[in-house]
Amino acid sequence: MQSIGERLEEARKRKGISLREAAEATKIRSDFLGHIEQNKMDFDLPEIYKRGFLKNYARYLKLDVDKIITDYNAQQLGNSRLGKKGGAEWFGQMEIKKPEAEESADRAEPEEPAPYGRIAAKPKKAVRSDEGERHEGDEGDETDKTFYMKIGLIFVGTLALVFVVFGLIWAILGSGDPAEDDESGPALREPTQITEPANPAPPPATATSSNSVTLFASGATVYVTVTQKNDGERIYSGSVTQDTPLTLEKEGPIEIVFTRGENLVIESNGERFRPSASGAAKTTIP
């Protein structure tokens, strides 16, 4: 008579399926499937998982699931009987006297010992065992579903955490000084000065000296970096808002690196102009 593992292995090979393919289809590790086919069910997992693996593997190979589980129960029962017998022989045989009522019942109804690998039971008990097996199988299916649900939740939580971390990194990098980023970028270009009036009109002119320059923002905030050309000293790096013009004292020519050139108005030596280029650029004020 073939063992459970031999039946499973024969069914798999008859279908031309490798252990790896079976493992991918049943979501059971290939080493566990190998142990099952070799009838080595002593791997370190709870009994409910072993039964669940047997059910899923037998169902995948189109075998009789109830027959496989019944034979497995018989095999486990036989192993437990052998274990008890071996333990008794190890410590010495101990004869336990049965009550007289049980001895008389044994004499009245002698029963043949159940062959190895099968369970000798009355029909009523067999029905109960079958019901218990169904309950155990259902419990195994529910355990498998719960296990996969936990894995899915862990995966979704990890993915959400990765998105949150990337969002925080993006926010931290985006909160830096954009004027400095624009200064190092390849998109900077030297615009020409124009004297045409801005639209919308810039704020009223302010009194400035030849050694000062005033920056206005119209419509939106502009980030600027102002550096003196003579000594390379940076005299300002920050934002210019629409409500607050920025007046800086300078010594000689200066270079202004800015964002949103279409919103920037520059006043120097009594002349007001706006860069011709939009977006990020730079200009030099004498």
| CATH code of the domain covering residue 209 | 2.60.40
Predicted local confidence at residue 92, as pLDDT: 42
Q: Is residue 86 part of a domain?
A: yes
Indicate whether 80 belongs to any domain.
yes
**Residue 42 domain boundaries:** 4-120
Please state, in angstroms and rounded to a whole number, the distance separating the CA atoms of residues 165 and 280: 29
User: Per the structure, how many domains does the chain have?
Assistant: 2
Q: Is the pTM of this model over 0.75?
A: no
Give which of 95, 274, 125 is closest to 201, Cα–Cα.
Answer: 274
CA 77 to chain centroid: 42
Last residue of some domain: 90, 120, 150?
A: 120
From first to last of its 286 residues, the chain has per-residue pLDDT tens of 788 989 999 999 999 999 999 999 999 999 999 999 998 888 888 989 989 998 999 999 999 999 999 988 888 888 777 665 554 443 444 444 555 555 444 454 444 444 444 444 444 444 344 444 444 555 556 777 888 889 989 999 999 999 899 888 988 886 654 444 444 444 445 554 444 444 555 555 554 456 888 988 987 898 889 998 888 899 899 898 977 888 988 888 999 999 888 888 899 888 888 888 878 888 888 8
Distance CA 5, CA 33 (A): 9
- Give the separation between CA 254 and CA 266, rounded to whole angstroms: 12
pLDDT of residue 133: 46
| Whether residues 8 and 100 fall in one domain | yes
| pLDDT on residue 141 | 67
3-state SS assignment for residue 177: coil
Kindly state whether residue 280 falls inside one of the protein's structural domains.
Answer: yes
Tell me, yes or no, whether 105 and 11 share the same domain: yes
How far from chain centre, in Å, is Cα 159? 4
101 assigned to some structural domain: yes
Q: Domain check: are 110 and 188 in the same one?
A: no
Is position 145 within any domain? no
| Inside any domain, residue 50 | yes
Of 83, 98, 120, the last residue of a domain is 120
The pLDDT, as a whole number, for residue 175 is 61
Picking from 120, 154, 173, the residue at the C-terminal end of a domain is 120
How many Å apart are CA 210 and CA 251, to the nearest integer?
Answer: 9
Shared domain for 12 and 102, answered yes or no, is: yes
CATH number at residue 93: 1.10.260.40
Tell which residue, 226, 223, 236, 239, has the closest CA to residue 279.
223
CA proximity to 126, closest of 79, 66, 81, 78: 66
The token duo for 19 is 């252990």
Check if the beta carbon of residue 229 is closer than 8 Å to that of residue 172: no
pLDDT at residue 17 in the model: 93
- What's the pLDDT at 65? 92
Q: Are 9 and 99 found together in one domain?
A: yes
User: Nearest 5°: CA angle at 261, between 258 and 266?
Assistant: 80
pLDDT at 138: 57
Residues 110 and 218 in one domain: no
CB 25 within 8 A of CB 12: no
Domain assignment present for residue 153? The answer is no
| Residue 228 in domain | yes
94 exposure class (CB count in 10 Å sphere: 0-12, 13-18, 19+): exposed
